[in-house]
Amino acid sequence: MQRILYLIIPLALLLAACQPEQPEFPTLDDTPLIEWEEALDWLYAGEVTRVIQTHNLDVYLTLEDGRSLRTVEPYIDAIFEEITACGAPCSDIVVATE
């Protein structure tokens, strides 16, 4: 029985160390709130790499330099319409919605 434990414990520790890094998603408390128009300025400038839209119209933007910003879209899916209208500067943006 002891031999099995000697094998299982190191194996469990090894597997725990191999877990992929989980992405950090911004939270309401630590993400600066900006106006919708300012968010569109960042978007059309090609500075946004990731967009997360929530069900309550909050939109989180991740910028190329790693900063996160939050805005409130005027209606649901407005950010996706803007990404489409943006064209080439926005073609590689990773999008998520809940």
Gyration radius from the chain CA atoms:
20
- The reported pTM is 0.71
Q: The CATH number of the domain where 34 resides is what? A: 3.30.720.210
Confidence of residue 19 (pLDDT cuts 50, 70, 90): low
The 10s digit of each residue's pLDDT in 37-94 is: 999 999 999 999 999 999 999 999 999 999 999 999 999 999 999 999 999 999 999 9
Residue 14 covered by a domain? no
Count of domains forming the chain: 1
Range of the domain at 74: 23-97
Residue 12 covered by a domain? no
Residue 2 covered by a domain? no
